[in-house]
Amino acid sequence: MRKYLSSLLAGLLAVSAAVAGEDAAQHAPVAGRDYLLIEPPQPTAGDKVIVTEVFSYACPHCAHFQPYAEELKAKLPKGAEFQLLPAVFQPGWEPFARAFYTAKSLGLLDKTHQALFDAIHRDHQPLRTLEDLANLFYANHGANPASFISTATSFVIDGELAQGNQLVRDYQVDATPTLIIDGKYRVTANSERGIGFAEMVPIALALVQQELAAKHAPAAKPVKKK
């Protein structure tokens, strides 16, 4: 009896392992279906795998994506880093991009990022211009409105905005929110392919693991001529 139960258990484990393997294979991200290749791939600085969320505070979809962005950040493995990149798809989005770079330079981003989404999309505060943002929002988070506006319209922020806009173009982003994995892969929601915000997270994490494995793979040894 014990021998029979042991054989039965071994058989069940083998079947479970096979099913798990098939399931993992089915859920492995596929280029063109789960993500798009960025061609040519864009270089990233440092040894870490960079996950970039392209977003705008003016974008309601980005506000809805925020819990998933936080989930992704929390689940990133060691060796990966999360970054934000504001997009400017229309003139009305530029004040929000300038505000992002300014808040980042002032060390306010950690306490204002979620709060600004809430102010705009939950509380429906009239925040449309740089002056609105400085006086009605950032002033409540420790910023001097006049200094905030002066910084936001400075040559330094002009340069960061131009560089950021170029990156958005180089990543070939045409919608927000979009996730960029290490300058190589672009992940977006797509209802036709059954990819919603919830699905974007595991796809991004799988691509991060793929890139981490590639970065830590041993270099091929040169073949010596005989």
User: Is residue 3 a part of any domain in this protein?
Assistant: no
Structural domain including 102 reads: 41-214
For range 97-124, the mean pLDDT: 98
Q: Is residue 29 part of a domain?
A: no
Query: Has residue 138 got a pLDDT over 80?
Result: yes
Given a cut of 50, whether residue 191 has pLDDT beyond it is: yes
- Report the Cα 11 to chain-centroid distance in Å: 42
Is 88 part of a structural domain of the chain? yes
Cβ-Cβ contacts under 8 Å for 49 (sequence gap 6 or more): 79, 80, 81, 181, 182, 208, 211, 212, 215
Strands (E), 173-217: 178-181, 185-187
CB 149 within 8 A of CB 130: yes
CB contact at 8 A, 112 and 138 = yes
- Look at residue 173 and tell me whether its pLDDT is greater than 50: yes
Mean pLDDT of the 1-19 span: 40
pLDDT of residue 216: 75
Residue 23 lies in a domain: no
Q: Is residue 30 part of a domain?
A: no
Q: Is 220 within a domain?
A: no
In a domain, 90, yes or no: yes
CATH number, domain of 82, equals: 3.40.30.10
The pLDDT value given to residue 223: 57
**pTM summary value:** 0.84
pLDDT tens-place string over residues 143-156: 999 999 999 999 99
Burial 18-41 (b: 16+ CB within 10 A, else e): eeeeeeeeeeebeeeebbeebeee
Preceding peptide of 29 cis, ω within 30°: no
Query: How many Cα atoms within 13 Å fall on the side-chain side of residue 18?
Result: 6
Percent of the chain beyond pLDDT 90? 81
pLDDT recorded at residue 201: 98
Domain annotation covers residue 129: yes
pLDDT tens per residue, range 84-106: 999 999 999 999 999 999 999 99
What pLDDT is recorded for position 28? 85
Domain tally, the chain: 1
Confidence class for position 215, pLDDT limits 50, 70, 90: confident
